[in-house]
Amino acid sequence: MSFQKLDELGHKLTAFEHALAILGADEATHMAPGGGEARAEAMSTLAGMAHRQASAPEIGDWISAAEAEDLNAEQKTAVAEFRRHYVNLTCLPTEFVERQTRTRMRCEQLWRELRAKGDWAGFLPALEGVVELAREEAALRASVLGLSPYDALMEQFDPGNRVADIAPIFAELKTFLVDFVPKALEAQAKRREKLPLRPLSGNYPIDRQRELGLAMMAAVGFDLTRGSLSVSHHPFCGGVPTDVRITTRYKTTEFLSSLMGILHETGHALYEQNLPREWAHWPLGKARGMAMHESQSLFVEKQIGRNPAFWEWALPVVEKHLGEQWSKDEILAHVHHVERGLIRVDADEVTYPLHVILRFELEQGLISGDLEARDLPEAWDRKMRDYLGLSTIDAPQDGPMQDVHWPSAAFGYFPSYTLGAMIAAQQWAAIEREMPDVEAQFAKGRFDAVNEWRNEKIWSQASLWSTPQLIERATGEPLNAAHFTAHLEARYGE
Ligand SMILES: [Zn+2]
């Protein structure tokens, strides 16, 4: 039976993925620097073996045969998701993938070397090569999938997301934010007049911060028997659902960036830890996509971790671990701090979407050919001045050289961040309708009801639905920017 063959293939591919995920997490957290070369070789060999197995021509035949078999509903959905994965994996010729990998890796290396110096002229030829191949990739994917080129790129990250649906929502959000950011800054200045910002004391030992982080992780639902917390240069959530590896980085001068980072990665981890175990070896059992994943991490970081009710419970926990007493208003002034900045990853939840919308608009131009890489510094600067009133024209390292996404050919990924923030706010609105006392629960350190809701509506659904379908099934309506803007107005407005 062909379904049986696919099922066995799923077990094999999951074993490869398991090994690669743990090797990758280990590399970032525990590997001695001297291990780098051999680790890279081991991982690329394993990745090559996995790719050959996953894209073998006979798998296409197995899928077609399985589609004709008498299967139950669950198996049928599993086969459909096998097909979706297989098509996305095999729609680029091997010759193209090799050419693109070489170009991308050279550009990434150059980016690491030249970004700090802001050497745009030195970096541009490599980026032009990547953009040219990204256009080629988009066209190849588009012809196989029957989508427009940019939609075909987004399809890899968030199945079912289309520019025609997202662009108007982002345009509406942009208009709102350009108007709202100055208002939020004014409201913040007024609050500061009444209550000056109390600086963090600047003495937070790492071992105590780690204990605090672990206590918060456990409280919001992280299963410490199936996951762990380490340190890495860039925080991430990796590993596998039964052994989730999350990381943070500590500063001894303040504790909030690490704690908020831990809550964010815990949100990713909760999704992974609660995916249906019986489907773990099928593509169907994976998390739905990047936007939905980001919505789960942002939900824990923003809807829970920056909620005033959360801090009623959390402040005594902070005091217990760090020996410092804070009032709710004093800590919220830090947790809700808004500031216009040049760097996306440092942005707060009010200004962050403008960074993403800028990239979404520019990369559509890059893929369609309306914009050339050499014109990026001016195009970036114009939008940055229009949206945030800041200029990057003399500092390309703070402009189009700041992210790794374009050098690594990840076009179509940026929208996921802001879609995630909007989905998180929409989930919160649905939860508040169904559980009016949810904030009172947070104030008592109770997160089980909110997790049960998310488990039933999101986590247990794995890849059963497209991203837009999952949003609508979980919250009762299609993606609606009004929930996110209402959230910002309530938290950062007057
Ligand atoms: Zn994230």
The tokens describing 75, both together, are: 């198996």
Q: Please give the pLDDT value at position 258.
A: 96
* Å from CA of 236 to ligand 1 middle: 8
Q: Please give the pLDDT value at position 389.
A: 97
Q: Which residue has the tokens 């409201």?
A: 187
* Å from CA of 298 to ligand 1 middle: 7
Q: Please give the pLDDT value at position 143.
A: 97
Is 219 exposed, middle or buried (CB count within 10 Å of its CB: 0-12, 13-18, 19+)?
middle
Q: Please give the pLDDT value at position 494.
A: 80
Domains of the chain: 2-157 (no CATH), 159-494 (1.10.1370.30)
pLDDT tens for the 494 residues of the chain, in order: 899 999 999 999 999 999 999 999 999 999 998 998 899 889 889 988 999 999 999 999 999 999 999 999 999 999 999 999 999 999 998 889 889 988 988 999 999 899 999 999 999 999 999 999 999 999 999 999 999 999 999 999 999 999 999 999 999 999 999 999 999 999 999 999 999 999 998 899 999 999 999 999 999 999 999 999 999 988 999 999 999 999 999 999 999 999 999 999 999 999 999 999 999 999 999 999 999 999 999 999 999 999 999 999 999 999 999 999 999 999 999 999 999 999 999 999 999 999 999 999 999 999 999 999 999 999 999 999 999 999 999 999 999 999 999 999 999 999 999 999 999 999 999 999 999 999 999 999 999 999 999 999 999 999 999 999 999 999 999 999 999 999 999 999 98
pTM: 0.96
Q: Rounded CA gap, 66 and 58, in Å?
A: 12
* Å from CA of 294 to ligand 1 middle: 5
DSSP classification of residue 286: S
Q: Are 376 and 200 in contact (CB under 8 A)?
A: no
* Å from CA of 420 to ligand 1 middle: 9
* Å from CA of 268 to ligand 1 middle: 7
Size of the chain, expressed as the number of residues it contains: 494
3-state helix, strand, coil in the chain (%, to 5): 70, 5, 25
What residues act catalytically? Answer: 265
Q: Please give the pLDDT value at position 94.
A: 86
Q: Rounded CA gap, 220 and 301, in Å?
A: 11
Q: Are 29 and 247 in contact (CB under 8 A)?
A: yes
DSSP classification of residue 413: -
* Å from CA of 237 to ligand 1 middle: 8
